[in-house]
Amino acid sequence: MSFNTFGKQFRFTTWGESHGPALGCVVDGCPPNINLKEQDIQVELDKRKPGQSKFTTQRKEDDKVQILSGVFEGKTTGTPISLIIYNQDMRSKDYGNIKDKFRPGHADFTYFKKYGIRDYRGGGRSSARETAARVAAGAIAKKVLENKLGKKFKVVGAVTQLGILGCDTSKWNDLIINKNPFFCPDKNMLKLWEKYLLDIRKSGSSCGAIIEVRARGIPVGLGAPIYSKLDMDIASAMMSINAVKGVNIGSGMNSAQLSGEQNSDEISQKGKKLKFDSNNAGGILGGISTGQEIVASFAVKPTSSILTTRKTIDKFGKNTTISVKGRHDPCVGIRAVPVGEAMMNCVLLDHYLMNKAQCS
């Protein structure tokens, strides 16, 4: 069972509700003797932090993390690392609007039907606020992987499609991703995307997004067939993120339209160096990493809370309507970028460690 725990060897368990006193996670299975300080985690949390541009939610949260255990004199000890983030912006506003109503596209209806009770404040446990805990866990995974794999290792994510607007992924530039409010990797799209999203925001509507995450410097051999395949665990990781509805590895859904000649990546050797002529596989064959760049992408559906009035029912089974008042978040997909990176780091470390047990 793994209700609120992710991972097998490197595991994290998250807890906390949107408007509870705090949220956090316990990271278990982290190797000992890795340098770790709060700032290593904070820097990743700051990427995800709300309120950084007009294009994301305006909730005010510092997301200041504290390490409560598992680190001694600046190094991990192999014991569980407990992380806590106290909530700040949880003013007791009027929840009358959503206390008894089920917001369409949200988990309100299903949580209530499943459990017979729900913390309705800000979505409770189903709020994307939970992803702060994942980002914190991912920051630890990243530190370990950097220690084990060295400089070649890097995980980087970006938004490659914003609503109906794509970008040219062959223009992908790591350096500009964190320098624009969309995590866009193609500088040619920045103006267009800005205008597009401003229009959506003004109209009170919302749009979806596709996030692509790339991992470099990954050794061949990670992945445990048949039912802990690397791609399977990446799909699972990404699909667990709030509002995600689809996951691709390499050519993904598009591979259905390719021919055998187009799709299978030819291999050749040049001196000591092995080379794949293409990467439709997204760096994974038979569930095991090939040593190529690992490429995964996932779709985030448009923000369900919009200004337009929507039909719904309340918990007593009465027909009613609902709409968001005031500010809203035009594209929840944007803030999913650091979350996707974090999940990728966690899956990769999990498999890196498992591989030691399987094959050493």
Please report, in range form, the residues annotated as the binding site.
48, 54, 125-127, 242-243, 286, 301-305, 327
Q: Rule CB under 8 A: is residue 21 a binding residue for its own copies? A: yes
Of 39-47, 54-62, 100-108, 168-176, the window that binds its own copies (rule: CB under 8 A) is 100-108
Looking at beta carbons only, is 56 or 175 nearer to its own copies?
56
Report angle CA 352, 357, 360 to the nearest 5 degrees: 95
- DSSP β-bridge partners for residue 210: 161, 299
User: Does residue 84 belong to the site contacting its own copies (CB under 8 A)?
Assistant: yes
Q: Which of 43, 192, 198, 258 binds its own copies (CB under 8 A)?
A: 258
Considering the complex, state which of residue 175 and residue 288 has its C-beta at the smaller distance from its own copies.
288
Mapped onto helix, strand or coil, the DSSP state of residue 305 is coil
CA 265 to chain centre: 28
- Residue carrying structure tokens 């996670």: 25
State the sign of the Cα–Cα–Cα–Cα dihedral 20, 341, 54, 166.
Answer: negative
Q: Cβ distance 98 to 107 under 8 Å?
A: no
Residue 68 contacts its own copies per CB under 8 A: yes
**Residue 171 token pair:** 């223009």
What is residue 248's three-state secondary structure?
Answer: strand
202 belongs to the binding site for its own copies (CB under 8 A): no
- Binding residues for its own copies restricted to 26-65, rule: CB under 8 A: 26, 28-29, 31-33
List binders of its own copies among 172-201 (CB under 8 A).
200
- Least Å distance, CB 72 to its own copies, is 4
Q: Which residue has the tokens 């598992």?
A: 70
Site string for its own copies, 261-300 (x = CB under 8 A): xxxxxxxxx----x--x--xxx-xxxxxxxx-------xx
Task: Output 52 or 66, the one with its CB closest to its own copies.
Answer: 66
Q: How far is the CB of 180 from its own copies (least distance, A)?
A: 18
Strands 81-86 and 65-67: antiparallel
Assess 208 for contact with its own copies (CB under 8 A). Answer: yes
Report, in angstroms and rounded to the nearest whole number, the Rg of the chain calculated over CA atoms.
Answer: 21
